[in-house]
Amino acid sequence: MSDQVRIIRFNAVHRLFHLFIMVTFLVQALTGLCRLLYTTAWGKAVTNFLGGYDSVSTIHNRVGVAMLLGFGVHVVYILLKVEWKALRRSLFHPDSLVPRVQDVIHLGQRLRWFVGLGPPPAFDRWTYWEKFDYWAVFWGLPLLGLTGLLLMYPLAVSRLLTGWVLNVMLLLHRAEALLAMLYIFIVHFTIGHFRHGMFPMNECMFSGSVELEEVRREKPLWIVRLEEEGKLREAVVPGPQPWFRVAYFAFGYLALAVGLYLLLILLIYRHYLEWH
Amino acid sequence: MRSQRLLWGSILRMALGGLGLLLILPALAPAQEEVTTALRRYKEREASTGYYEEYEVKPRRMRPFVGIPGAMRPTFPYSPKAAEIRVRAHLADSHRGVKFYEVRRCDECHVQEAEDVHTTRGNLTCRQCHGGEPIAAVNHYFSPLNPIRRHAYVCAKCHEGAGASFATYVVHEPPPGAPETRKTFPSLFYTNWFMYLLILGTMGFFVVHTAIWVGKELYHVFTERRRKPENE
């Protein structure tokens, strides 16, 4: 493993953002499900373990505010990263996560590959599903945060808006949260971690680097581009320290386990998932 | 001389009388001005208590309001049973004539209503909002849950400072996907269907997409593995 050549994919800031959203998302999923499934035996047991309904609500609310602040920091980071003088190039560069026409073509190629009409698409640094993952969180988090914030202060909100808006906000909050949980625990986990060659956990979001061989298999155009620009040598980084690997694998397995456990709970208590 | 004494006497009596009046009458105060007008006093009381005078609250010609806003009312609007239910929402005793009412529980009939957030999370009982027997219908003009005073009489018991807008939160929500909800709560209805289609679309596409992808990849891996020993 360590003799493999590895190239950098996520810098420390990217990894910190992912770590932050990972931890807060799992906390919100757990405490949110406690509130949603409070009428069930599981909901009562876990809620009581966490200190009761009020305590779970407090955790959910404060972590939610933290997520919104984190989102604000992320937006500031993006605004600092964008090259304003060459805006168009900066936005639609292959290193940017902004969707391009190429992504639609890739998706078409993927669908054609499904029915045996062509080869699988060759990707650059970011694939269409990775961009979808990113933008799903980018609009989902503010939506959940905003509706959650309105629900946190019903009296103040009812002075500005009509009270029944909160009914709609609660529905939006719950439905969007269910969608987020289902998407992350099923689609994101499967594509990111459970595919052949990655099972059971893909470490690149923690180590920040990917094996060159894996990139050649998954994202050949990125390597081609790096070679053309002569940046491949710069991109090579040493592998992670053994203690760091042990730490992030333990943490990653724990996070995956929590996610799959919550998915199981969602499936078991599917009849109790009222989103209104 | 005598007239002068009379004058002084009357001045003294008037002064004494004035002094007496000053002692008897309430003290003059700047605030007195504000409560002198009955209208202002009434408005203040109305705002703080939510109490309205009977003539303001009673429906015109004593007829209960039985229409759905925006819906045309046909000549014979409701079946006798439907009319009975709609009229029931305006009775002083909303359960009048329900058989064996004394021995029944609320949630035997009001199943959905007993499962909302206020009941299951807030541990409220029905009577904490709907009041004791006879339980007045929510639209009866003396009911504590009548929308004109609901915020002050019911909501504010827990949500201190609740206003009329706050009280428009629908505690017993209709099922958001039901066709009736399109008339009674359109924004909830359309939001529900939007989110439903969004979840169905996103998950439907990506689950199928990912399943085929993973399956095809695994198939290639296994066929490659089977081919390799033959080549070697």
Mean pLDDT within B51-79: 52
- Under the banding of pLDDT at 50, 70 and 90, the label for residue A266 is very high
Q: Does A232 touch chain B (CB under 8 A)?
A: no
Judge contact between A224 and A172, C-beta under 8 A.
Answer: no
Q: What is the pLDDT of residue A254?
A: 95
At A126, the amino acid letter reads W
B168 and B82 within one domain: yes
B147-191 pLDDT, tens digit per residue, is 888 899 999 999 998 988 899 999 998 889 888 888 889 999 999
Domains defined for chain A, CATH in brackets: 6-272 (1.20.950.20)
**Does B56 have pLDDT greater than 90?**
no
**Residues of A in Cβ contact (< 8 Å) with B192:** 171, 175, 275-276
Q: What is the pLDDT of residue B116?
A: 84
In chain A, alpha helices (H): 12-36, 41-49, 53-81, 87-92, 101-114, 128-152, 154-160, 165-182, 189, 204-207, 212-218, 220-229, 232-235, 242-268
> Which of the two residues, B89 and A162, has the higher pLDDT score?
A162
> How far apart, in whole angstroms, are the C-alpha atoms of residue A73 and residue B24?
71
B186 and B128 within one domain: no
**Does B205 have pLDDT greater than 60?**
yes
Percent over 90 (pLDDT), chain B: 25
For residue B163, being part of any structural domain is answered with yes
For residue B95, being part of any structural domain is answered with yes
B21-49 pLDDT, tens digit per residue, is 888 887 666 555 555 566 666 666 666 66
B142 and B190 within one domain: no
Q: What is the pLDDT of residue B1?
A: 73
- The single-letter DSSP state of residue B125 is -
The interface predicted TM-score (ipTM) is 0.92
B165 and B81 within one domain: yes
- The single-letter DSSP state of residue A1 is -
| Strand boundaries in chain B, DSSP class E | none
**Residues of A in Cβ contact (< 8 Å) with B203:** 179, 182-183, 186-187
B181 and B105 within one domain: no
- Residue A163's closest CA among B69, B187, B52, B71? B187
* CB pair distance less than 8 Å for B176 and A276: yes
B141 and B86 within one domain: yes
Q: What is the pLDDT of residue B194?
A: 95
Percent over 70 (pLDDT), chain A: 99
Mean pLDDT within A5-29: 94
B86 and B150 within one domain: yes
Residue B151 belongs to domain spanning: 77-172
* CB pair distance less than 8 Å for A196 and B170: no
Q: What is the pLDDT of residue B61?
A: 46
**Does A99 have pLDDT greater than 90?**
yes
**Distance of CA B139 to CAs A61, A219, B63, B96, B111, Å?**
36, 66, 12, 15, 21
Please state, rounded to an integer, the average pLDDT across all residues of chain A: 92
B164 and B85 within one domain: yes
Q: What is the CA radius of gyration of chain A?
A: 21
B144 and B210 within one domain: no
Judge contact between A6 and A238, C-beta under 8 A.
Answer: yes
Q: Does A11 touch chain B (CB under 8 A)?
A: no
**Does A42 have pLDDT greater than 90?**
yes
> How far apart, in whole angstroms, are the C-alpha atoms of residue A53 and residue A58?
9
Separation in Å, CA of A85 to nearest CA in chain B: 36
Phi, psi angles (nearest 5°) of residue B9: -60, -45
Q: How many domains does chain B have?
A: 2
- Residue B229 in tokens: 């020993």
Closest in A136, A154, A171 to B191, CB measured: A171
B103 and B183 within one domain: no
Question: Which of B119, B206, B221 should be substituted to probe chain A, the one whose Cβ sees the most A Cβ atoms within 10 Å?
Answer: B206
For residue B115, being part of any structural domain is answered with yes
B129 and B167 within one domain: yes
